[in-house]
Amino acid sequence: MPEEKPVIIYGGSFDPPHKGHIALAAAALRELKPRALFFVPGFRTPFKDLQPLSFGERALLLKEALRSSALAGRREVAISSFEAAQRRVVYTYETLAHFRKLYPRSPLYFLMGSDCLAGFGKWKRRREILKKAVLLAGLRPGYSMKAAGTAPFRPLKGLFPRAASSSLRGELFLGGKPPAVPRGVLRLIERKGLYLARERALLKGMLSARRFRHSLETARLALELAPGLGLSPQKAALAGLLHDCARELKPARLAGPAFKARTGGMLYGTIIKEAPVLLHAWAGAEIARAKFGVKDREMLEAVSLHATGAPGMGTLARLIYVADLAAAGRDFAEAGLVRELAGRDFAAAFRAANYVKLSYAFSSGGWVHPLSVSLWNSLQEKKKG
Ligand SMILES: [Fe+2]
Ligand SMILES: [Fe+2]
């Protein structure tokens, strides 16, 4: 029986879809003239309380990216829900088996960027994959054959710009408009409130322009430091954005019972009398829960403790504590020093942040929350131990 025209399978997370994806698909269409090219967005593993973009949302963005590109109206291009419908991580050999059944007589090509190729040595059932399909890769500038390992593949003609989805997501979390994301896709993200657009819009209505900028800068620094601490960038960005969400409430409004519950009632009367401004941290956590729907305990802890700190606070809480103090736009000299230190030695930056906060508190006189002092003591004990 004669062989039919090839079928191209393009797997990835498409979170978000960008011009690099479209360019790769367009090149593959030009070169192979297939009967079909399927974008196959994979299932994304959810964090405890943090849902990644659903397949439906990513498919919507991908459709928009296609609509506004040179691939608009190409009948052979389609989006497959096969992997997402399995509700689990699907291996490439399974996806290929699925398409082999659908197209028994077509040669299959599995399309990817050259950086994915480098990880091929760790894929499951590699021999089976290579028997079922030809790997088709778009090479990026600076690509080295050595880094690609031993996977045999067919390179597409030309070079393709590097566009890392993780850094695009970071920009989107902060409301940036990365040029690698098509304009129609950016508009849709805004309209649907994706990539924290909903949260940013809500927050903007609660804060002055100055404080909103500070929140964005705190989120930016938290995002930058999160990977080095093994933290989810999205959680870091959202906790950074929300940490001061109650900062501009009038003191009388900070004294509600729900906010009192967040402090655990600890020293509540004294805080109200001596340093009511500190209440914005616990109140912020309560507002993050009630108004922004944050259920994640690490994020709530980070907002609760960003002002005082506390011994034994979690990694995300430590990150927000440092990012708040050292965010760009802070007008005291130590901020820049702590920011610079945080990139090299986060533990040292955390100790320095505690030192700076306490020095300011002591030099201005008055009452200091015992949690801040306990944090100081716990850090001294660790240093000796
Ligand atoms: Fe604050
Ligand atoms: Fe702050």
pTM for the whole structure:
0.91
What integer pLDDT is reported at residue 159 of this predicted model? 84
Distance 225 CA to ligand 2 centre (A): 17
Distance 247 CA to ligand 2 centre (A): 8
Distance 306 CA to ligand 1 centre (A): 6
What integer pLDDT is reported at residue 82 of this predicted model? 94
Q: Which ligand is nearest to the CA of 325?
A: 2
Q: Which ligand is nearest to the CA of 304?
A: 1
Rounded Cα–Cα distance for residues 308 and 267 (Å):
13
Task: State the amino acid at position 121 in one-letter form.
Answer: G
Distance 55 CA to ligand 1 centre (A): 36
What are the Cα distances from residue 300, in Å, to 5, 190, 365, 374? 54, 25, 30, 20
Rounded Cα–Cα distance for residues 21 and 24 (Å):
5
What are the Cα distances from residue 171, in Å, to 29, 191, 220, 225, 235? 30, 17, 9, 14, 14
Distance 172 CA to ligand 1 centre (A): 24
What integer pLDDT is reported at residue 187 of this predicted model? 97
- The CATH number that domain 7-164 falls under is 3.40.50.620
Q: Which ligand is nearest to the CA of 280?
A: 1
- The answer to whether residues 53 and 13 touch, using CB atoms and an 8 Å cutoff, is no
What integer pLDDT is reported at residue 258 of this predicted model? 67
Distance 241 CA to ligand 2 centre (A): 9
Distance 153 CA to ligand 2 centre (A): 50
Distance 332 CA to ligand 1 centre (A): 16
What integer pLDDT is reported at residue 368 of this predicted model? 92
| Domain span(s) for CATH 1.10.3210.10 in the chain | 208-384
Task: State the amino acid at position 30 in one-letter form.
Answer: R
Distance 280 CA to ligand 1 centre (A): 7
Tokens 């974008």, residue? 39
Q: Which ligand is nearest to the CA of 326?
A: 2
What integer pLDDT is reported at residue 161 of this predicted model? 79
Q: Could you report the per-residue pLDDT of 355-380, keeping only the tens digit for each?
A: 999 999 999 888 999 999 999 999 99
Distance 63 CA to ligand 1 centre (A): 41
Distance 269 CA to ligand 2 centre (A): 23
Q: Could you report the per-residue pLDDT of 102-141, keeping only the tens digit for each?
A: 999 999 999 987 777 777 888 899 899 999 999 998 887 7
Q: Which ligand is nearest to the CA of 322?
A: 2
Distance 284 CA to ligand 1 centre (A): 9
Distance 358 CA to ligand 1 centre (A): 15
Handedness of CA 201, 203, 208, 210 (dihedral sign): negative
List the beta bridge partners of residue 8: 37, 109
Distance 216 CA to ligand 2 centre (A): 10
Distance 320 CA to ligand 1 centre (A): 10
Which residues neighbour 76 within 8 Å (Cβ) at sequence distance 6 or greater?
A: 29, 34, 35, 36, 37
- Read out DSSP for 244-305? TTTTTS-GGGGG-HHHHHHTTTTTHHHHHHH-GGGHHHHHHHHHHHHTT----HHHHHHHHT
Fold of 208-384: Hypothetical protein af1432 (1.10.3210)
- The answer to whether residues 325 and 338 touch, using CB atoms and an 8 Å cutoff, is yes
What integer pLDDT is reported at residue 262 of this predicted model? 74
Phi and psi for 183 in degrees, rounded to 5? Answer: -60, -40
What integer pLDDT is reported at residue 222 of this predicted model? 98
Distance 161 CA to ligand 1 centre (A): 40
Distance 283 CA to ligand 1 centre (A): 11
Distance 335 CA to ligand 2 centre (A): 12
What integer pLDDT is reported at residue 354 of this predicted model? 97
Structure tokens at 137: 């890769």
- The answer to whether residues 282 and 348 touch, using CB atoms and an 8 Å cutoff, is no
Distance 37 CA to ligand 1 centre (A): 50
Distance 83 CA to ligand 1 centre (A): 43
Give the Cα-Cα-Cα angle 320, 48, 123 (nearest 5 degrees): 105
Rounded Cα–Cα distance for residues 191 and 188 (Å):
5
* pLDDT lower than 70: segments of the chain: 1-2, 45-51, 143-150, 257-258, 265, 382-385
| Domain span(s) for CATH 3.40.50.620 in the chain | 7-164
Distance 356 CA to ligand 1 centre (A): 15
Distance 296 CA to ligand 1 centre (A): 19
